[in-house]
Structure 1
Amino acid sequence: MSASKLQESGDVRIAHSLHTKEEEFVVKRREIVFQSLQKHEIHCSQNKVPHIALLSSGGGQRATVGLLECLVQLDKAGLLDCILYLSGVSGSTWCMASLYQEPDWSTKLETVKDNIIKRLSGPGVSWGDAFAKLKKYYNGKDFFSLTDIWAAIVVTTYMKEIDEHTLTDKWSQLGKDPFPIYTATDKQSKQEEGGDPWFEISPHEAGYSLSGAFVETSNFGSQFDNGSKKKHQAEIDMLYLQALCGSALAGEDSKEFIWGKIQDFLKHSRPTKEIMFEEMKEDPNSPPVEKWYQVLMDLVDMNLCVLNVKDPSALDQSIRTMLNDLAGGKSQLIFPTQKLNLADKEAAKLYMKQYTEDVCNYLSQFSLGPFDIFLSICRCMALWIWGRNYNFLHNMTDESVPSALLRSETRDFEDAGLLLNSPYFSVLRKERDIDLIISLDFSEGDPFMTVREAADRFKKLNISFPEVNIPSEDLEKPKDFYVFKGQNAPTVIHIPLFNVVNCGDEVEAWRNKYRTFQGPYSAEKITEVMEVAGKNISNNREKLKEQIAAVVGKKAHN
């Protein structure tokens, strides 16, 4: 089937153009931007309204609440209505998901902010509710991955809610807010020569920013063949979307943290476990419940033991004995033949991967009823599967799309921050015609890494981006406002969260106090981060207006 016919069918769209509904939105939003500019006495013709994108980096809950307060301060400065696009990575997408729950949030932002902070400071989701949500994911999809687990037992811990709305059903109620773009990374494409790892999800379509290959957002996750939908899957909900975009621990070094979360989940969801025990007792073919549960706990504990370089032999023996008992003394389980060598960390990880797979594969022959979900969790951990979904480009033959994207039936998606911790690629599609980028950087560590990496990557891709030169004395003592300009490139404003203006000589102390991978912030910590983040906007109101006026002048001249 030709590309043009595929586009007409509405299934898969291969084109370097905006979705027609996004184009329609831009026309309406430009009128709001125009009116806002007039109020600030920044004059331009209606066909020269600048396209301004607000980008927000990842950074866990630091980015979530930091972005929220920056938006509040932009609103107070009368500049929020100048923003055409709002795009985020990781923790920033958690803030976006909360905002866009409320129709036209930008018209009542102070109230919306108070409601979000009240929730984030309040009680968390119960273990029972988290498990019920995990079961919905497990039973309702063709692919179950660590992203489902991350959504149910980690994102809920931070966001204190289970958001089952979808991006498309909420957007149908909206109209007066910046256009939201959520970002993720195609994991395989990161590792493939000539791949396209940059993946965006908007209210209208999801797809590859560089290749120009998209599917309707409501169909992302459905099964496609040669551009046509074969099997429908329900649209992903906002909780899963937050996990997909905010899975920064999908890096290999985080297994200890996630095994620990699974261990906590098993230990603290006793009521859930007892319900499952009752369900399994009704099945005469199920093995003794307590023994099965103990095998599961021992397997989790053994993985943690090895990751902490501790001798797991007692747990290993317990698992072998228990499995032998479950099989009536005739266990056919074949364990890894090589010996566990704790001194060699990589070899030990591979041993436990195989060991965990072997135990899971062996147990899958039993009728384990509701415990099957925990078997799948352990298998996902062994295989390290994140964000697995059907590939909507499977079996297409379009030459404009990297061939590797066309071959596989599935693709795995993870946090875009694992590739570049700011969503520059989403807004720098040529057809979005961006004139000014305001980049809020909530990154941990080097506060200039994202903007420098973006400049390097765009140079290699021949995409216009200004030169980025940072004074050497600023590397350790960053200021709160940087402007980078180029002849045929958008202007980029870069704003590091912690800087010498809002933190004085305590920049490093602030960074250490607010690490990315901490537990949920207390009300006091939320307030502190918001105050610091807000100053970066309130202290620079006039500078922001000057740069907006400058791009208006540049656009008029061009």
Structure 2
Amino acid sequence: DVRLGFDLCVQEQDFLCKRKNYVIPALKNVLQLEQDLLDHEAPVVAVMTTGGGMRSLTALYGSLRGLKKLNVLDCATYLTGLSGTTWTMSNLYRDADWSQKDLDKQISEARKHMTKCKINSFSLEYLKFYKKQLCQRKREGRKTSFIDLWGLVLESFLHDGKDNHRLSDQQQAIDRGQNPLPIYTAVNVKNNYSTLDFKEWVEFTPYEVGLQKYGVFVRTEDFGSEFFMGRLMKKVPESRICFLEVWFGHLHLLVLLKEKTFGVYYLPRLLAGWPCPGQVGFTIFSPAEEEPPLPAKAQELRTRLFTPPGPLGSALRAVLADRVCIAQEHNFLRGLQIHSDYLENPHFCRWKDTVLDTFPNQLTQSDEFLSLVDTGFFINTSVMPLLKPERKVDVILHLNYSALDQTCKYCSEQGIIFPRVDLSEEDRKNLKECYLFDGAETPGAPVLLFFPLVNDTFQKYKAPGQKRSESEMEDGKVDLYGCCSPYSTYSLQYSEKAYDRLVQLGEYNILNNEDLIIQALRTAVARKRQIKN
């Protein structure tokens, strides 16, 4: 009942064939070719996103609209995400034809939820609903935690009521190859070890969930069920998407919990249904720094959570486990036997990076549960699934500012082929809107287009080549990372103006660098032709 092997699953291979029917005409259009590319000449293009809470959720809408306007979105085969960008992705893939349509409707719907007051999510009615949902998950045989509760809260933040959408439902959005294949990422950790000492990449697609380190995968609808020695022992209903979204991205929650004002005062009062001064939903914090350092162990955050007495508080306390920051699901690797020569397997070695990997009894097949955390605990990137040799990715559009240096260092240490990235000291201090790293010095590396989330020429231009008038200069003032920025990781609600400006900035930075995007695609096509010849 589990799939063993490092090849792509049959469904993904079938998707790749269908996706070419969209990619090849799109490349002909974008590159202004006289003839269609042959199958072997069409590069595999991936759009890779990074985390950043509501900021990354919002900016991604703008970036994708920019790619759509350039017809580059139809050139993409994969779309990967973590943290806040996975919330955008899961919203988009509810529509089976989202990338074939104007994105204005999707952006408008997200705007409604991003700008609404969030206080109602902590009303007595919602708390009773949360309790009912958590109790149901416990009856199904799942381990519940505060992460599950936060997933329900996020659902109320971003939707109107209960959302019955599940990850496997997204198969309808890729069954004809009409959209890029979405890949969501998380990290499996161990209870008594930091992410620096032990972490394993977990990838989620509408088809299957798996750990690429072991080459073990299960159908997405079976994830969370009980397995032993590769056999399905007890079927558990597939989780609603809100519970997965919070596994993919809850680092921002830990930042919130670390803040005493929230963890000790606001949250208990909200959980109890007591009124709080001020407007919760706006930024209710005054952080000394934008992203304070977090411990490598999720459970080591110094937080205090006081739940006031009362039947509702007791019920919530009863269904929440004591581990605040880690989501646990039944381990589908449980009982599998590791081959005696596993350390010599090149697939395993690609992702082997800790001393624990040399001890078979310390590996994941011995654990009853997988312990899942936001990938951002280790590194703010969703690129790893794209670096599987089997996916043969030729071009990566790296959206939003993230730990690019960390990614390069990690790939170098692991022997994973990745372009060499050289940024001058001046560039590091004043990032541009886009950088092209063609990987010429690293044979086999994909072409990398790096789009930091910065406000550069957008300050003076409302569109490429169109200068702002004096009355429009205010719209170009987008404070992304300052101490008074409305886009802090702490922010759960934006003003309409702040939301619109961030979407427009994300779109502009794509449109203003059309030439570099076309150059990257031309480079990839030339390499594909050269390899064939």
**TM-score bracket relative to the smaller structure:** 0.7 to 0.9
Structure 2 CA distance for partners of 1:173 and 1:250, relative to 1, 3 Å:
closer
Query: What is the deviation of 1:34?
Result: 0.3
For the residues of structure 2 that align with 1:498 and 1:133, how far apart are their CA atoms?
Answer: 38
From 383, 391, 400, give the equivalent of 2:323.
Answer: 383
Match of 1:205 in 2: 208
Native 8 Å contact 2:202 2:211 kept in 1: yes
TM-score for the superposition, normalised by structure 2: 0.78
5 Å matches for 1:156-167? Answer: 156-158=156-158, 161-167=161-167
1:120 and 2:114 aligned: yes
From 78, 83, 90, give the equivalent of 1:97.
Answer: 90
From 210, 224, 227, give the equivalent of 2:230.
Answer: 227
Match of 1:265 in 2: 270
TM-score for the superposition, normalised by structure 1: 0.75
For the residues of structure 1 that align with 2:145 and 2:266, how far apart are their CA atoms?
Answer: 15
Structure 2 CA distance for partners of 1:154 and 1:241, relative to 1, 3 Å:
same
Match of 1:138 in 2: 135
From 478, 481, 498, give the equivalent of 2:431.
Answer: 478
Native 8 Å contact 1:250 1:386 kept in 2: no
Structure (1 or 2) with the larger CA radius of gyration: 1
Query: What is the deviation of 1:225?
Result: 1.1
SS in 1 for 2:233: strand
Structure 2 CA distance for partners of 1:507 and 1:158, relative to 1, 3 Å:
same
TM-superposition CA deviations, 1:225-268 (whole Å, max 9, x none)? 11111112111111111111111146588344455564143243
1:427 and 2:386 aligned: yes
1:106 and 2:99 aligned: yes
Looking at secondary structure, tell me which structure has more helix per residue: 1
Match of 1:150 in 2: 150
Match of 1:491 in 2: 447
For the residues of structure 2 that align with 1:92 and 1:254, how far apart are their CA atoms?
Answer: 21
Which deviates more from structure 2 when the two are superposed, residues 476-485 or residues 400-409?
Answer: 400-409
TM-superposition CA deviations, 1:87-136 (whole Å, max 9, x none)? 11100001001101111111112333333323433465643235404421
Aligned pair count reads: 454
Query: What is the deviation of 1:434?
Result: 0.2
5 Å matches for 1:216-365? Answer: 216-249=219-252, 251=254, 254-255=257-258, 256=260, 257-258=262-263, 260=265, 262-268=267-273
For the residues of structure 1 that align with 2:56 and 2:248, how far apart are their CA atoms?
Answer: 13
For the residues of structure 1 that align with 2:154 and 2:112, how far apart are their CA atoms?
Answer: 19
Which deviates more from structure 2 when the two are superposed, residues 208-217 or residues 530-539?
Answer: 208-217
TM-superposition CA deviations, 1:338-394 (whole Å, max 9, x none)? xxxxxxxxxxx99999x989x99xx9xxxx9765432236x63x5335211111111
SS in 2 for 1:84: strand
1:20 and 2:10 aligned: yes
TM-superposition CA deviations, 1:473-504 (whole Å, max 9, x none)? 01121001111232220111110111433357
> Matched residues, percent identical?
25
For the residues of structure 1 that align with 2:312 and 2:228, how far apart are their CA atoms?
Answer: 33
For the residues of structure 2 that align with 1:258 and 1:80, how far apart are their CA atoms?
Answer: 41
One-letter identity of the residue aligned with 2:171: W
From 348, 373, 391, give the equivalent of 1:414.
Answer: 373
TM-superposition CA deviations, 1:8-34 (whole Å, max 9, x none)? xxx222211111101101110022100
Structure 2 CA distance for partners of 1:227 and 1:517, relative to 1, 3 Å:
same
SS in 2 for 1:235: coil
SS in 2 for 1:478: coil
For the residues of structure 1 that align with 2:221 and 2:271, how far apart are their CA atoms?
Answer: 33
Match of 1:187 in 2: 189
For the residues of structure 1 that align with 2:477 and 2:105, how far apart are their CA atoms?
Answer: 31
Match of 1:519 in 2: 492
For the residues of structure 2 that align with 1:419 and 1:87, how far apart are their CA atoms?
Answer: 17
1:539 and 2:512 aligned: yes
SS in 2 for 1:182: strand
Native 8 Å contact 1:121 1:523 kept in 2: yes
Structure 2 CA distance for partners of 1:173 and 1:427, relative to 1, 3 Å:
closer
Structure 2 CA distance for partners of 1:526 and 1:166, relative to 1, 3 Å:
same
Native 8 Å contact 1:500 1:507 kept in 2: no
Structure 2 CA distance for partners of 1:426 and 1:212, relative to 1, 3 Å:
same
1:50 and 2:55 aligned: no
Match of 2:283 in 1: none
Native 8 Å contact 1:498 1:507 kept in 2: no
Native 8 Å contact 2:189 2:195 kept in 1: no
SS in 2 for 1:206: strand
For the residues of structure 2 that align with 1:101 and 1:397, how far apart are their CA atoms?
Answer: 38
- Structure 1: which 5+ runs fail to align? 1-10, 271-348, 444-449
Structure 2 CA distance for partners of 1:70 and 1:352, relative to 1, 3 Å:
closer
Query: What is the deviation of 1:545?
Result: 1.2
RMSD over aligned CA atoms reads 3.1
Native 8 Å contact 1:123 1:160 kept in 2: no
Query: What is the deviation of 1:162?
Result: 3.6
For the residues of structure 1 that align with 2:93 and 2:265, how far apart are their CA atoms?
Answer: 32
1:554 and 2:531 aligned: no
Native 8 Å contact 1:134 1:148 kept in 2: no
1:373 and 2:332 aligned: no
SS in 1 for 2:429: coil
For the residues of structure 1 that align with 2:530 and 2:43, how far apart are their CA atoms?
Answer: 12
For the residues of structure 2 that align with 1:352 and 1:185, how far apart are their CA atoms?
Answer: 22
For the residues of structure 1 that align with 2:274 and 2:164, how far apart are their CA atoms?
Answer: 22
Query: What is the deviation of 1:521?
Result: 1.3
From 431, 443, 451, give the equivalent of 2:404.
Answer: 451
Which deviates more from structure 2 when the two are superposed, residues 521-530 or residues 120-129?
Answer: 120-129
TM-superposition CA deviations, 1:122-174 (whole Å, max 9, x none)? 46564323540442133223210121111122453355654221011242354
For the residues of structure 1 that align with 2:226 and 2:58, how far apart are their CA atoms?
Answer: 36
Native 8 Å contact 2:147 2:326 kept in 1: yes
Native 8 Å contact 1:491 1:551 kept in 2: yes
